[in-house]
Amino acid sequence: MNKYLKLDKWNIIEEGFVHENVTSSESIFSIGNGRMGQRANFEEKYSGETLQGNYIAGVYYPDKTKVGWWKNGYPEYFAKVLNAANWIGINIKVDGEELDLNTSKVGKFKRTLNMLEGHLLRSFSATMQNKNTVEVNAQRFLSIVDDDLGLIKYAIKAVNFSGVISIAPYVDVDVVNEDSNYDEKFWDSITQSASDNEASITAKTKKTNFVVTTAMRYEIWKNGEKLELAPVASFRDKYAESMSEIKVAEGDELIIYKFATNVSSFNHNVSKLEEVAKLELNKAQNKHYDTMLEEQKQAWAAKWEESDITIEGDVEAQQAIRFNIFQLNQTYTGEDERLNIGPKGFTGEKYGGVTYWDTEAYCLPFYLATADKHVARNLLLYRYKQLNRAIENAAKLGFNSGAALFPMVTMNGEECHNEWEITFEEIHRNGAIAFAVYNYIRYTDDKEYLEDYGLELLIGISRFWSQRITYSENYKKYVMLGVTGPNEYENNVDNNWYTNTLACWTMDYTQEVLDHVKSVAPAKFKALSEKLNFTESVELARWTDISDNMHYPEDKELGVFLQQDNYLNKEQILVKDLDPKHRPINQNWSWDRILRSCFIKQADTLQGIYLFEENYDKETIERNFDFYEQRTVHESSLSPCVHTVLAAKLDRMDQAYDLYLRTSRLDLDDYNVEVHEGLHITSMAGTWMSVVQGFGGLRVNNGKVYLNPRTPKAWDSYSFKVRFRGSVLKVNASKNSVEVENQSSNDVSLVLFDKEYKVKGNDSLTINN
């Protein structure tokens, strides 16, 4: 853990320059706009340890898989969102010496991520080796209004000298990915140019042939007046700059406005990229910095209006939840169905920036409740449009007849995970995607999605389960062998309870959706049946037989569902009895020792109970929670949120609050000492789940909203909003009362503290505790 950030309701603040914190802060202070993102690298040169990172959504490279023994069906590559051109760079020289915080004496250093308004600020003084001192105030943002643009305002003041300041804004695509499997560079330049106050590079990715033009233009103002520049432009392969030298007297201040754009063939015609880039720069320069910053503030105000959670009485908790919401909103906007949410978002290279099941299991609930339904719909369409690839993935593993296995990791629908036990065995991801369809429908009631897309996807997944499950003569039951559940500290187990449960639920739900579509849209159903060669009576009979006769491991004496067959054969040591020097076990134990232990990386059986809690009484939930919480080491960022929700349901508020702080401040306080690699973006949605589903008790079932708010001891009150079928409810909860405001014209059926109410449009309901 590394707690060096100041507490503030709306800002993330770093005071004082500590070299060892640079890469961590580069992650924490990252900015993005859904179209691109950027780690909080310095504009000026920094010769110390740094992880340079600029990322463009949808642009990736298939890095050839590195394995010792190739297995049939093994993915050929691991897709990676590429480190793209550095567009923020501004080389500064003072009387010939480069400004570099690694070699300068740094004072008054302060960095602020303004989450309310969506911009990054940095200020410092630096005394260079030539004894000249400058003061710098830098601000930048990625526009969420004009999402191909990034803007920088960089002010530098001559504190104790008169002399010459050289200013050289540049673009540089001679960059590397730190996680490259074979130490390759992934970009080839096509053109580079620089003239007057502009520079531009057009480059192409190797293999995938994405083309990106990165261009910049700048102005320099001195003591409030715009200067007429006589810049010296230069360029070489993969690099272009424009340099201006300005004479300054002691006390003079220069302001550099840098306007930059990234336009890619993912969104534009290749032949038009350089033209589009110029148009974008014209737009930015014509609007200018202050106007675009004001637009940014207004756009972020609108986002906060729909997704903010307020917490009174606990600044630490308030800052944490806003940080998580802010990162989610700047990672994914939902405007492009081709995009998804990588575990690190735009903040680092780990996990390749690709799509995991995290999206459906953790992120979708956040977007369902906080954004217009098209945002969540686009996440589902992303999967539907990759259905053919999912069928190909299954075929590679020997499945047929349209069975679909969605990838564990993907950029384009093709499986690209490079660990066999994940690729071949962690098939529960299929169930998460099916459950996402159900979740979307219960929040939105968008039945047309089922008719046009959802049923086809569900049939593909159900066909996979039907073929993957076999009959055991020994058990006289159906079984699923050789799988890995969400707990990745187990491999190749038989009958993972969560996976078996989710598989049978999927086949049952598919039949329910099939009956609906058949009833309301028979022509569509007939056309789909013909397209899929769907033999209804035969396939449904098998699905029903499997669902009715599935084996679920259980210990009746303990009254718990077993994570998998033979789980109790393991030595049952509890987490509290582990020597602290062994934690985290994934950094201190051999993999063999981990696999033989009973310890659980993240919610597994409890993940299933969380999804289907309405099927279990409180006593069953409590027994399973008590059993598995004691064995869970929470060494996945995705784990604590599920335990928080269940602990709150069981009225264990102190435990729930402790788990909430762990999940919400995971990155801010660097619990796992790994934030330098990037933020845990997808698990940030779990922080929202912890508050809204955990403390707020939000559930959506049978066309109704259920609420059962509880207030942690450390909080005076809290509030959040929930979208439900065209309505918006605002929940204000305190220790003494709960108010539900219906901020729409539709009446909403609401169950509050187990009592049903109808809240009329634009009306409210208050219940005193």
- Helices first, then strands: H and E counts in the chain: 22, 34
Between CA 612 and CA 620, with CA 616 as vertex, the angle to 5 degrees is 125
488 is catalytic: yes
Whole-number Cα distances in Å, 652 to 210, 357, 607, 622, 647: 51, 29, 18, 10, 5
Q: How far apart are CA 153 and CA 572, in angstroms?
A: 58
What is the rounded distance in angstroms from the CA atom of residue 638 to the CA atom of residue 548?
31
730: phi > 0 → left, psi -120 to 50 → alpha, else beta; which?
A: beta
Question: Do 438 and 457 touch, CB atoms closer than 8 A?
Answer: no
Cα gap 305→270, rounded to integer Å? 38
Length of the chain: 769
Classify 96 in phi/psi space as left (phi over 0), alpha (psi -120 to 50) or beta.
left
Residue pair 679/344 in contact by the 8 Å Cβ criterion:
yes
State the helix-helix crossing angle for 536-548 and 455-468, rounded to 10 degrees: 60
Paired residues of 438 in beta bridges: none
The 3-state DSSP class for residue 570 equals: coil
H or E element, residue 441: helix 428-444
Helix (H), strand (E), coil (C) string for 529-562: HHHHCCCHHHHHHHHHHHHHCECCCEECCCCEEC
Amino acid of residue 40: A
Residue spans of alpha helices (H) in 599-719: 605-611, 618-629, 639-649, 653-664, 681-689
DSSP code of residue 453: I
Query: Is the link from the previous residue into 407 a cis peptide, with omega within 30 of 0?
Result: no
- The amino acid that residue 413 corresponds to is G
Cα gap 484→464, rounded to integer Å: 16
Tell me which residue of 267, 234, 52 sits closest to 148, measured CA to CA.
Answer: 267
What is d(CA 462, CA 472) in angstroms, rounded to the nearest whole number?
20
Q: Is 115 exposed, middle or buried (0-12, 13-18, 19+ CB in 10 A)?
A: buried
Q: Which residue out of 488, 635, 677, 741 is catalytically annotated?
A: 488
CA torsion 9-10-16-22 (nearest 10°) is: 120
As a whole number of angstroms, the distance between CA 270 and CA 288 comes to 27
Write out the catalytic residue numbers.
488
